[in-house]
Amino acid sequence: MQEVTEKDFDGIVESGVAVMHFYAPWCKPCKEVAVDVKALEREFDHVDFGKINVDKQPGLASRFAVVEIPAVLIFKEGDEIERLDGIVPLPVLRNEIASRITRHASDEVLLGENRYQ
């Protein structure tokens, strides 16, 4: 999973669905969530995944009002559409991402641009 900085963040989340894991290296719960997020990255190959170290990227943490870590934020076309704070079970993470992809794909079908076929 790529480390995301303020410099490249907008370019990553601006199109499609993206999942960003806000963490800190000293945070034990963050390490637990990271294992699940990495597994989901392998499952959802058409979703952009990234991790954001809140100690190194305080501007991004502030921009999205991340006050609790771990935090997993889901973006669609650059807009935050879901936030999961704390330790979230893998099935919950999977379902949230899958439902956002389904909604995103449905929106594009209505526009005649389904890139998930």
Catalytic residue numbers read 27, 30
Phi/psi of residue 76, nearest 5 degrees: -130, 120
Query: Ramachandran region of residue 114, left (φ > 0), alpha (ψ -120 to 50) or beta?
Result: beta
Per-residue DSSP letter, 16: S
Nearest to 84 by CA among 96, 71, 97, 95: 71
